[in-house]
Structure 1
Amino acid sequence: MITIQNLNFNYNKARPLFKNMNMQLTQGHIYGLLGKNGAGKSTLLKNIAGLVYPSAGSLQVLGHNPTKREPSLLQQISFIPEEFHLPSVKSSTYVKVNAPFYPNFDHVYLNRLLSEFDIPIQQKLSEMSYGQKKKYIIAFGLATNAKLIIMDEPTNGLDIPSKAQFRKIMASAMTEDRCIIISTHQVRDLDNLIDAVILLDEQKVALNASIDEITAAFTFKKVKELDNTVLYAEEALGGYQVIAANSNQEDSKLDMELLFNAVLAQKSNITSILNTVHHE
């Protein structure tokens, strides 16, 4: 689906944002894209969508070079940015103008999503609340039936019930021939939704692994006292939340926030264990 080889990108020549980045993403997955502020999450998404161009390296999306901006590729990409503008028109006009670009656009599906999100479709889009606007562009993006769905901070501006709706809708939107990438700094919003994690750090991909691979390599648990099996720990009420090597093949639930902090604190240690398990 997406192949990135030796990608270099910079806004400022003195400080490259990506340096020889490599990554492979396949269809049939919902990827969570994580990283500190300034790590380049939004920029990576824009490179994939062909909105900005790398200074060196190669990027292939669905067999195309996104920098060429070919309609046959763009019709299969739905990019939902963090910052957006909706015109002063009703939904019906917006759909009439924009939907024809996407050959597989599903009008029935859009109406179902708008109803589930409780969007006031008789109201002009520009007059909706920020949360309603956000839900509208998510609904429209999914209704395109594009093979690649890219979302940059989609849960920003959503209240707690809307976030629950979002997770439910995204889970049902996943198909075997589709790839979904969701960038967020609110890692808890991706709980029980994604099945793979990408973590950017220091100009490169620090981690790219499935949830199954991560929980096979590590166990996430709460303990009262630390021992020598613990790889990373954070103080918690009544003890510690820890990551330990999963030598006994225990079942545990991924704690993404803990993993995120662990990789940033002990990248080489965490990734070497993960790579060992991956190649066994």
Structure 2
Amino acid sequence: MIHVENLHFGYPKKPTLFSELNWEAPEGTIIGLLGKNGAGKSSFLRILSGILFPLDGAVTVNGFVPRKRQSQFLQELFLVPDESYLHSGLTSLGYEKITSPFYPRFDSARFRKLLDTFEVGPTVRVKDLSFGQQKKVVLAFALSSGCSLILMDEPTNGLDISSKAAFRKELVSVIREDQTVILATHLIKDLENTLDRVVILDQGKIKLDAALSDLADGYYFGTAAQAPREAIYVQSTALGVQYIEPRKSQAQSSINLEMLFQGVVNGADFSEAFHSSKLANL
């Protein structure tokens, strides 16, 4: 579905953001794009959607070049930005009426059901909605769009705890097997139980790209008074340490994405024991 080859991108008078970045993503996965603030997550989504243009390299999505913004490409892609863009005078149903004709597989019944689930009044004007409620309108539309690729930038930003839980549940339940969703976030805990795959972006490179099932097979995430000698990453806690080590005879453990992220950005080497991960600079 997505093919990125030797991507080079940066903003004028600022350091280069991406240099020789390579990545591929199959259809039918929910992918977490993780990175620190300023790592380029939002810019990467905008490049995939054709809003920003590479300085060099090639990007294709569903066989289309995003920068050309062809109608066949756009009707299969929906981007949820971090900021609100809804017109203040619109209602949720007004937004649906204006926007849904651009998406051939849009499901109106699902949209209205999701508005109800997210507790957003369909006839309340945007100007009377909080930022979090406006975000829920756009999230409901994205999940109802039927698009083969849905890009979400910080989707849980502005949502309260119950809304985050409702979003996670609906995301997993309504996405079809042939749809791909990319969730760019630094709020890792909010989404770790919804992901099929995790991609960690740091210093202009994709440092790790791995299926969570492979991570669970390849590594053990543990807690102890002292870390074992085989640990490849260790962090202190009030009661001892948390650690990651290559999995041998242990039962599968739950994946701690926050610890995984910290390990990757702090240089932990996942390549020796986990050959199915895709590391930068290979």
For residue 142 of structure 1, give the secondary structure of its aligned residue in structure 2: helix
Pair 1:138 & 2:139 matched: yes
1:117-136 → structure 2 map (5 Å cutoff) = 117-136=118-137
CA shift, 1:91, in A, is 2.1
Gaps of 5+ in 1: none
Amino acid at match of 1:56: D
Superposed CA offset, 1:16-62 (max 9, x none): 11000000101111000001111110000000011100001101100
For residue 94 of structure 2, give the secondary structure of its aligned residue in structure 1: helix
What is the distance in 2 between the residues matched to 1:112 and 1:68? 34
- Residue 44 (structure 2) aligns with: 44
Q: Is the 8 A contact 2:31 2:182 kept in 1?
A: yes
- Residue 4 (structure 1) aligns with: 4
In the superposition, the TM-score normalised over structure 1's length comes to 0.95
CA shift, 1:202, in A, is 1.7
What is the distance in 1 between the residues matched to 2:185 and 2:26? 20
Superposed CA offset, 1:81-125 (max 9, x none): 001221112222221111101111111110110111111112102
Amino acid at match of 2:274: L
Pair 1:32 & 2:28 matched: no
- Residue 163 (structure 2) aligns with: 162
Q: Is the 8 A contact 1:42 1:152 kept in 2?
A: yes
Q: Is the 8 A contact 1:86 1:126 kept in 2?
A: no
Q: Is the 8 A contact 2:227 2:242 kept in 1?
A: no
1:46-125 → structure 2 map (5 Å cutoff) = 46-87=46-87, 88-125=89-126
Describe the shift of the 1:194–1:115 C-alpha distance in structure 2 as closer, same or farther (beyond 3 A).
same
What is the distance in 2 between the residues matched to 1:112 and 1:277? 38
Amino acid at match of 1:225: Q
CA shift, 1:276, in A, is 6.3
1:232-271 → structure 2 map (5 Å cutoff) = 232-248=233-249, 250-267=251-268, 269-271=269-271
Q: Is the 8 A contact 1:114 1:136 kept in 2?
A: yes
What is the distance in 2 between the residues matched to 1:118 and 1:14? 42
More deviation, 25-34/84-93: 84-93
CA shift, 1:227, in A, is 2.5
Q: Is the 8 A contact 2:84 2:134 kept in 1?
A: no
Q: Is the 8 A contact 2:91 2:124 kept in 1?
A: yes
> How well do the aligned residues superpose, as a CA RMSD in angstroms?
1.4
Q: In percent, how many aligned pairs have the same letter? A: 37
Amino acid at match of 1:157: G
Q: Is the 8 A contact 2:208 2:277 kept in 1?
A: no
Amino acid at match of 2:177: E
For residue 78 of structure 1, give the secondary structure of its aligned residue in structure 2: strand
In the superposition, the TM-score normalised over structure 2's length comes to 0.95
Amino acid at match of 1:182: L
Q: Which runs of 4+ in 1 moved over 3 A?
A: none
Q: Is the 8 A contact 2:80 2:138 kept in 1?
A: yes
Gaps of 5+ in 2: none
Amino acid at match of 1:203: G
What is the distance in 2 between the residues matched to 1:95 and 1:176? 24
- Residue 18 (structure 2) aligns with: 18
Describe the shift of the 1:43–1:108 C-alpha distance in structure 2 as closer, same or farther (beyond 3 A).
same
Superposed CA offset, 1:241-270 (max 9, x none): 110111225301110000000001124x12
For residue 138 of structure 1, give the secondary structure of its aligned residue in structure 2: helix
For residue 27 of structure 2, give the secondary structure of its aligned residue in structure 1: coil
Superposed CA offset, 1:207-245 (max 9, x none): 111001112221101111122111111111321111011
Amino acid at match of 1:246: R
CA shift, 1:277, in A, is 7.5
- Residue 183 (structure 1) aligns with: 184
Amino acid at match of 2:3: T
Q: Which has the higher helix share?
A: 1
Q: Is the 8 A contact 1:29 1:174 kept in 2?
A: no
